[in-house]
Structure 1
Amino acid sequence: MENSGSNSAFSKFVNDKIMPPVMKFVNTKAVKAMQDGMIYSLPFIIIGSIFLILSNIPIPAVAAAVQSSGWAAFFSQAYNASFGLLSIWAVVGIAYVYVRNEGYEALPAGLTALSSFFLIQLMQIDNPVKTAMVNGTTGATAKAVAASVNHLPAAVKTLVTSPVNGVFNLTWLGGQGMIAALIVGLLVGWSYSAMIRKGWKITLPEQVPASVAKQFTAMIPAGVILFVSMFIYAGFKIFMNTDFLQWVYELLELPMQGLSDSLLGAVVIGFAVSFFWFFGVHGGLIVGTIAGVFLMPNTAANAALSHAGRLTLANGAHIVTNEFYNNFINLTGSGITIGLVLFTLFFAKSKQFKTLGKIELVPAIFNINEPFLFGLPLVMNPFLAIPFFLTPVVVAISTYTVIATGIVPPLNGVAAPWTTPAIISGFFIGGWKMALWQACTLAISTAIYFPFAKKYDAMLYKQEEAKLAAEAAAGNAEAEKI
C-alpha cells in the first residue's frame, strides 16, 4: 500500500512541524513528573471506587439494607481515606517523581510537598450548625436550626456559628485541591532539586549512618520550602482573607473544569487521541496526561455528589470526567475499534484481516488495540483514517448529549480500571443505563467502520488473490522448465 503524494506531504508537515514541539512539551520534566507522579494515586482511586460502590449500591433494596445495617458509614470512612484524599496522593507523587528523575533521594521531597500543601491552607471548616442552617437536609430542618440559633444570646450565637479551627478540610484534600496539589508538587520538586544541586545541604561525616545522613541532607531544602510556604499562607490570610488553595480553585480549577466539561472539550479530546496515534505517537498517553489534570477533579466531584446522594446535573455534576475519557473515548482501544474487530471476524475475506481479527479479539475486550494500530496498521493508513478519527468524535458528541439531556445519568465517579470490558465498566460507572449506552457505542463503532473496512478488505483480498495467482504462475513456469 502506497500513500498518495498529498498524504505524504501532510504527514511530513505534521512530523516536521507539529510533532517536535508537542513531544518536546510532553517530555518536559514537569509533564513527566505529573504523568508518573499521579500514577501513585491509581490504587487508591480504584480501591476507593469499590468502597463508593458498596456505600451506594445501585440497587435500591440492597442500598437500603446496607444503610440500615450501619455498614454504609464504614464504607464511607474507607472511601474518604482513599479516593477522598486524591490531592494528597498527587502532591506527594509529583514531587517524589520530579526529584527522583533528577537523581536525588526523593521521599523527603514528597513529604516536604505534603507538609507545604497542608501549611498553605486554612485548617478550618464551617461550623456544623451553620452548615445545617444553609444546607439543611430539608427546608424544615434548616428553618428549625436557624430559629433555634436566632433565639440564643449574641455571644453564644457567634460561638456556635464560628468556623471550627485546627482541622483539615477534606474538601481540599480531594478533587477540589487537585490543581493546587499539582502546582505545589511541581514547585517543591523543582526548588528542592535546585537547592540540592547547588549544594544547599548539611553533609555529615562518613561514620554517620546513611539513613540519618540523608535526612540532614534534606533539612535545608525542606526548611527553606516550609518557610516560604508559611509566608505564602500569611500573605493570603492577611491581605485576602483566604488561602492559596481556595484562590487557585476559583482562579484556575473552576474555569479549567468548565472548559474540559463541555461539548467542545469532549470533541477535542476524542479527536486528539486518534490524531496522535495516526502518526505513530501514543495518543492515549499524551492526551491522558494533559486532559487528566482537568478530568480527574471532575471525577472526584461526581464521586462526592454520588456519595452524598446528590448526583444530578442540577447539583453541579460534570458530564466529561476521566471515566468519560477512559470508558467511552477509549472504549475497546483508541479509535474505538471494536467495529473493525467485528468486521474482521464475521465479514472479512482477506487473510490479513481475518488473522489480525483473531489476534485482536481478546485484547479488544480489555480495551487494548495495539495489534490493530501497528499490525493492520491503523497508523499512517489513509484508507481507515476517516473512521479512526470520526468514531471517537461521534461517540463523544452522542455520549455528551445523552447525559446532558438526562437520557443517561451523569457518571458516578467510580473509577473502573481502564481494562474493564465494555458494558461491565458501564454498569460500574453509571448503572444499567450507562451499560446499555456503552452497548450502543459499540454499535456506533461497527456502523462507522463497516463501509470503510469493507472497501479496504476488498483491496487486500484482491492483492492477495493477485499474489497467489502470480505465485501459481511462477510455479507452473518452473514446472514446465523441469
Structure 2
Amino acid sequence: METKQNPFIQKLLVVANVFASQKHILAIRDSFITLMPATIIASFWVLVNNLLLSPTNGVLKNVPWLTNLSAIGGQVYNATLGVFAILIAFLIGYNLATSYKDRDPLFAGIFSVIAFFIMLPATLKVTATNQKTVEVGAIFSQNEVSATGMFLAIIVGLIGTTLLCKFNTKKRLVIKMPDAVPPAIANSFNVLIPAFLVSTILGIVEYVCVTLLNSNVPDLIVKFFQAPLIGSFQSIFGILLYVFLSNLLWAFGLHGTFILGSIAEPVLLTAIQQNMDALKSGHALPNIVTKPFIDCFGWMGGGGVMICLVIAILIGSKREDYQAIGKVGALPSLFNVSEPIMFGLPVVFNPLLGIPLIVAPIVTVAIGYFATAVGLVARTSVLIPWTTPPIISGYLATNGDIRASILQVVLIIIGTLIYLPFVRLANREKPLN
C-alpha cells in the first residue's frame, strides 16, 4: 500500500536531486572522487613524516638516518597534494566537457589547466635569507598550486571549460579540414579558435585585475570567496548547519555528503592544508573545522554517526530484523560505510530513526568543536582516509593526540544514548515483511 508523501518532502527531494545532478556540481564531485587515491597516498606520508620521522617530535627522532627518510614522503607529497590544484583543474575540465558531450574532453582538461595558469601572477615575491624581498618571474609557489589554490582552480576550470564547450558548438568558430587530414590533427584545429578566444578573455580579466584593481585573481578569490567560506565553516553555527543539512538529506534517502560535498570539500580540504602548512612551519594551527575533523567527530560509522545506531541496536533492539541487519552492517560501519544500515533497516524515510539521525551528529560535532576550541584535544593536522576506523582516526588526524581517541569514545557513548530510546521504541513497531 502506497503512502502519500508530504508536499514539503517532495519539493525538498526535487530540489536536492536537481542540485545533485547539475553538470558543474557533478564535475566537482567526480573530480574529487577520482583524486581520492592520491589524497590517501599523500595523507599516509604526511602521517609518517609527522608522527614517526619528524626530527623534533617524531617517535623516531633519535634515529637520524630514519628521520632523513622523511625526504621520501616530502617528494610524494609534493607530487600529490602539492599539485592538487593542477590535478583538480584538469579533472574538472575533463568531467565537465564530458557532461557537455564536447568533441574533445581530453583537450578541455588540458585547457582548464592552461586557464588556471593564466590567472596566476606572472611574478612572485620571494624573501631571501637576508630578509630582502625581490620579485621573481616564471615560477609558481606550492601555495598556489596545492590544495590552497584549489578554489581558483575550480572556479576558473568551470568558467573556462563552460565557455570552451559553448564556443565549440558554434560552427563559425570551427576550422574545417579536408577529409584526408588525420582525425587527431583535424580535432586540434577544430578547437583552435574557441581555445584562442577563451584564453584571450581570461588573459584580459587577469590584466584588468592587475592594472585597474592593483591586485591579482588568486588574491581576489581568497579575499571575496575562499576566506568567507572557510570562515563560515569555522564558526559553530556554520558547521552545525552543514551537518544538519547533510543528515536531513540522508533522512530523505539522499546522499547528503555527496550532494553538499561539492561545496564543503574544497573548503574543508583548504582548511586542513592550512593546518598542515602551519604544522610544517612550526606555527599555531589556524583551523578547528577540517575534513578529518568532520570525519572523526561527525561521520563516525558514516552519515548520522551510524556506528552509534549499530551499538544501540545490538544493546537495545529486540527485533530480529534489526539485530540481523545490525550485525551485517557492523563491520562496514567500522570503516565509516553507512549504506547497509541506512538502507537496510531502513533509516531513510523512517520518522522514528530520522530524529536521532539528525540530532546525534549535531551533538557530537558540537562537543568536538568546543573540546578542540578550548584545547582539550589537538586540532587536526593530518589528512587521513575517510575509511579510517573511529578511535584510530582521532589519534592519527591530530598527529598522535590520544585525547582525541578518548573523546571519540565519549562521543560514541553519547551518540548511542541518543539513538537508544528510539531503537527501543522501534521494538513496538511491526517488522516489515
- Normalized against structure 2, the TM-score is what? 0.91
The one-letter amino acid paired with 1:194 is K
Residue in 2 aligned with 1:198? 170
Residue in 2 aligned with 1:388? 357
CA-atom RMSD in angstroms:
2.3
1:48 positional shift: 1.4
Name the CA distance, whole Å, in 1 between partners of 2:23 and 2:373.
37
* Alignment CA distance shift 1:455-1:318 (3 Å): same
Aligned residue among 224, 236, 241 for 1:251:
224
* Alignment CA distance shift 1:128-1:395 (3 Å): same
Spell out the pairing of 1:69-84 with structure 2 (5 A cutoff): 69-84=67-82
Larger fraction in helix: 1
Name the CA distance, whole Å, in 2 between partners of 1:233 and 1:258.
26
The one-letter amino acid paired with 1:449 is Y
Residue in 1 aligned with 2:409? 439
Residue in 2 aligned with 1:330? 299
Matched-pair contact (CA < 8 Å) for 1:56–1:63: no
Name the CA distance, whole Å, in 1 between partners of 2:344 and 2:66.
54
Residue in 1 aligned with 2:42? 48
Aligned residue among 85, 89, 92 for 2:90:
92
Larger-gyration structure (1/2): 1
Identity %: 28
Spell out the pairing of 1:142-157 with structure 2 (5 A cutoff): 145=130
Name the CA distance, whole Å, in 2 between partners of 1:407 and 1:255.
27
Matched-pair contact (CA < 8 Å) for 2:247–2:303: yes
Q: Does 1:419 align with 2:417?
A: no
1:106 positional shift: 0.8
Name the CA distance, whole Å, in 2 between partners of 1:453 and 1:69.
50
Matched-pair contact (CA < 8 Å) for 1:384–1:452: yes
Name the CA distance, whole Å, in 1 between partners of 2:2 and 2:419.
21
Q: Does 1:34 align with 2:43?
A: no
- Find the residue that maps to 1:397 and give its secondary structure: helix
Give the stretch that moved more between structures: 199-208 or 327-336. Answer: 199-208
Residue in 2 aligned with 1:137? none
1:387 positional shift: 1.3
Matched-pair contact (CA < 8 Å) for 2:81–2:147: no
The one-letter amino acid paired with 1:88 is I
Name the CA distance, whole Å, in 1 between partners of 2:65 and 2:211.
44
Matched-pair contact (CA < 8 Å) for 1:95–1:186: yes
Spell out the pairing of 1:262-273 with structure 2 (5 A cutoff): 262-273=235-246
Q: Which runs of 4+ in 1 moved over 6 A?
A: none
Structure 1: runs of 5 or more not aligned:
133-144, 147-159, 468-482
* Alignment CA distance shift 1:325-1:207 (3 Å): farther
Matched-pair contact (CA < 8 Å) for 1:40–1:89: no
* Alignment CA distance shift 1:350-1:397 (3 Å): same
- Find the residue that maps to 2:51 and give its secondary structure: coil
1:119 positional shift: 1.7
- Find the residue that maps to 1:56 and give its secondary structure: helix
1:276 positional shift: 0.6
Name the CA distance, whole Å, in 2 between partners of 1:386 and 1:120.
46
Name the CA distance, whole Å, in 2 between partners of 1:15 and 1:85.
42
Residue in 1 aligned with 2:157? 185
Matched-pair contact (CA < 8 Å) for 1:37–1:95: no
- Find the residue that maps to 1:60 and give its secondary structure: coil
The one-letter amino acid paired with 1:35 is R
The one-letter amino acid paired with 2:299 is N
Give CA-to-partner distance per residue, 1:420-442, whole Å, 9 cap, x none: 21122222211233223222222
Matched-pair contact (CA < 8 Å) for 1:356–1:375: yes
Q: Does 1:237 align with 2:205?
A: no
Matched-pair contact (CA < 8 Å) for 2:19–2:259: no
Give the stretch that moved more between structures: 92-101 or 326-335. Answer: 326-335
Name the CA distance, whole Å, in 2 between partners of 1:19 and 1:344.
28
Name the CA distance, whole Å, in 1 between partners of 2:137 and 2:24.
34
1:358 positional shift: 1.4
The one-letter amino acid paired with 2:76 is A
Matched-pair contact (CA < 8 Å) for 1:336–1:445: yes
Give CA-to-partner distance per residue, 1:147-180, whole Å, 9 cap, x none: xxxxxxxxxxxxx532222211221112332221
Name the CA distance, whole Å, in 2 between partners of 1:71 and 1:242.
40
* Alignment CA distance shift 1:67-1:173 (3 Å): farther
Q: Does 1:453 align with 2:423?
A: yes
Residue in 2 aligned with 1:309? 282
Aligned residue among 345, 348, 354 for 1:376:
345
Matched-pair contact (CA < 8 Å) for 1:196–1:221: yes
Name the CA distance, whole Å, in 1 between partners of 2:198 and 2:2.
58
Q: Does 1:348 align with 2:317?
A: yes
Name the CA distance, whole Å, in 1 between partners of 2:225 and 2:299.
27
* Alignment CA distance shift 1:65-1:344 (3 Å): same
Matched-pair contact (CA < 8 Å) for 1:378–1:384: yes
Give the stretch that moved more between structures: 246-255 or 427-436. Answer: 427-436
Give CA-to-partner distance per residue, 1:333-374, whole Å, 9 cap, x none: 211122221232244322112111111111111111222222
Name the CA distance, whole Å, in 2 between partners of 1:98 and 1:82.
22
Residue in 2 aligned with 1:115? 114
Name the CA distance, whole Å, in 2 between partners of 1:2 and 1:445.
33
Residue in 2 aligned with 1:23? 17
Give CA-to-partner distance per residue, 1:68-112, whole Å, 9 cap, x none: 743333422321221122211221111111101111211111111
